[in-house]
A and B are shown apart, each in its own frame.
Chain A
Amino acid sequence: MIKDGPWKEAPKATTFAEREFQVCIAARLVENGKTYWVAGGGGPMYSVLIAKKLYAPDVVYVAEDGVVGPEPMLPFDPVMTLAAARPSYRALMWSTMNGIGDQCAVGYLDYGVLNTLQLDPYGNLNSTWIGTYGVEGRRFNGPGGADTIAAMCRRVVLMMDHQRRKFVPRVDFISSPGYLDGSPGARERAGLPANTGPWALVTNWAVFDFEEQTHHLRLRAIAPFVTLEQVLAEMTFEPKFPPDGKVETLDPPTEEELRILRTEMDVNGQFTDTAAHWVVWEDGRWSLVAKEQGKKLSPL
């Protein structure tokens, strides 16, 4: 799943935000010639758009408002990522929500790309409630279109911040289905189409897939600016490892990926500029540099 591509030879960035790294890594997983259903806005849409521009020109994407194959006019106004003029620009078709659902149900939509707040080892997603449902904690937005994407796309790419509180043994609420309890046929027993489910998880620190037999989250690669120990320390459960035990190291963003992301998409850093530090290449190693003081936090 971690493959070579044009990014290997391209000039690399030396300063970036972790979420920028995450979007670029997700872009490199995009498979040319396939159809994508992207969640509205943020990392999922940015990663597919970067891929379309640099690596996968024949990708066609749809969104839940009914847009099919747009050549969107970037950047978007804040929040105006669906059902608005810029994201709908030069589309092949303006359809409907049920129209997109139909395309997915009959099997025309290969990949889905989603954000999640919380994830368990079987790729179940929570975007509804953190805490005890209805009793204490906090209500979030709910599944939106993600439940359908997670249920019916052939392969689903998940995006999440790499934080200990987000990798949990059981999500507080299954908003959108992963492999449920992980048992064979669990999704089919729940009425979901066969041969579907989470395929990858991209965090700001690592890339995972799901082991074929157990459907359990499996670590495949880590960012060049963190250690394996750090990645595991920010999870409440141990992921599986590849049979050969080899966890790959991901390439940093390229200058070109970042230029597109910063000038055409996340122009105000709303999605990517949320952490307190930059990742900086300096004196032959990566450091996390605090934004405000410009001082180093943790040389690696």
Chain B
Amino acid sequence: MAEKTLRILEEGQGEYSLPDPDVFREWTARKDRAMRPKLMTAQEAVARFVADGDYIVWETNYFQRGPSALIREIIRQRKTRLWAGGKFTWVIVALLVEAGCCDRADMGFFVGGPGVTRAVVEKRLKVYEYSNLVMAARLRAGAMGLSFISVRSLGGTDGFKYSGAKIIEDPYTGKPTVIVPALYPDVALIHVHQADQYGNARIFGTTITDVESALASRKVIISAEEIINTEEIRHKPGLTKIPYYLVDAVVHQPFGAYPGECPGMYASDTEHVAEVLGAIYNDKVKEYLDKWVYSVASEEQMLVERVGLNKLKEMQRRATMVATEGYRS
């Protein structure tokens, strides 16, 4: 039989980590399967499981059921050289970059502003260009234990040139087909409505790529609004999105998505949302971080001293006044 060659028609120049599923399988082989309590504070979880230089992903964002508390803890602990999976993310990349935590980002959607622009021009930040859905596809490829996945987008864009994508001649149809490298992050940060102490986790509402990120990431930190009994989990197993053995740490973090909304539980702090966006657009991120991150030792202190109980109650009330259907077991 004549030897055939797979034709690569075009290649992007973006850097990416080698997406080798067998290397990832070696990692998962070592992960503890025991059902043991993993409850710890945000400080401990970030100190133990986020290392300088890690590739991190987070699910949803600073405004909508994101792990905002964990992100602030990363900034507080002054992690460095992180590579950020910046899909569907509003402000988190800008905060990490200005805090000096992040020097590479894979782009889907994030608010740039003068700080990010400066970091790119001064070459303190390298950005690789994908899109939200292509980043989601890369995580799905990781979650499937693959090295790449074929997508029907990204081709023809300038983003393609600055990505790790290739256009190949599809060996089945012969048509040009875009492929992108799988993503195997070092860390996934996922904020959920409910989890048990082992990490069995429930999320209500739309889920971006929570499940894919949990499967494809080496270390998984769950922060949860509520810690529930495993008996409750077993009573309604259809609600579990992430099983415990994927999870390394469980942080009980009420208002962990603050200032964002946690759908069904509390609405967003609209003033804070405007404040952080304003800080980014007006080049005042340092002041924002001083006020909300560096000057408080913990999330609990921030909630009590900077936000206040009345505001938190008002956020809860605004959630219960409106659409809470479907967010509770």
Contacts and interface: CB of A to CB of B under 8 A. Distances in A.
Contacts of A275: none
Interface stretch (A11-19, A27-35, A128-136): A128-136
A94 B206 contact: yes
Given A64-B88, A142-B109, A73 B134 contact: no
Contact of A84 (B108, B153, B212, B268): B268
A64 B133 contact: yes
A66 B206 contact: yes
A contact face: mostly helix, strand, loop, or mixed: loop
A231 interface: no
A180 B151 CA distance: 18
7 contacts: A73-B323, A78-B274, A134-B127, A139-B112, A147-B153, A190-B156, A192-B155
Given A85-B319, A89-B323, A101 B155 contact: no
Interface string A116-153: 00000000000010000111111111111111101110
Nearest to B66: A83
B88 A139 contact: no
B110 A98 contact: no
Interface of B: 60-61, 63-65, 86, 88, 90, 107-114, 116-117, 120-121, 127, 129, 131-134, 136-137, 140, 151-160, 167, 175-178, 204-212, 261, 263-264, 267-268, 270, 273-274, 277, 319, 322-327
Nearest to A181: B156
Contacts of A145: 88, 109, 131-133
B112 to A, nearest CB: 3
B134 to A, nearest CB: 7
A274 to B, nearest CB: 15
Contacts of B154: 147, 151, 191
Contacts of B268: 77, 79-80, 84
Contacts of B263: 83-85, 88
A79 B63 contact: yes
A98 B134 contact: no
Contacts of B133: 64, 97-98, 100-101, 145, 147-148
A48 interface: no
A174 interface: yes
A243 B63 CA distance: 49
A83 B323 CA distance: 12
A79 B275 CA distance: 12
B131 A147 contact: yes
Interface string A62-91: 001111000001000111101111101110
B288 to A, nearest CB: 16
Contacts, number: 211
A174 B156 contact: yes
Interface string A145-164: 11110111000000000000
A96 B156 contact: no
Contacts of A193: 152
Interface residues of A, number: 59
Contacts of A151: 152-155
A201 to B, nearest CB: 18
Contact of B153 (A138, A152, A174): A152
A105 B110 CA distance: 24
Contacts of B86: 142
Q: Lowest 6 CB-CB distances: which A-B pairs, in order?
A: A190-B156, A190-B155, A139-B112, A144-B109, A151-B153, A191-B155
A40 to B, nearest CB: 9
A115 interface: no
B60 A83 contact: yes
Given A66-B207, A83-B205, A105 B152 contact: yes
B112 A141 contact: yes
B131 A128 contact: no
A254 interface: no
Given A78-B270, A139-B120, A191-B177, A83 B208 contact: yes
A176 interface: yes
B141 to A, nearest CB: 10
Nearest to A72: B323
A148 B210 CA distance: 20
B152 A96 contact: no
B64 A138 contact: no
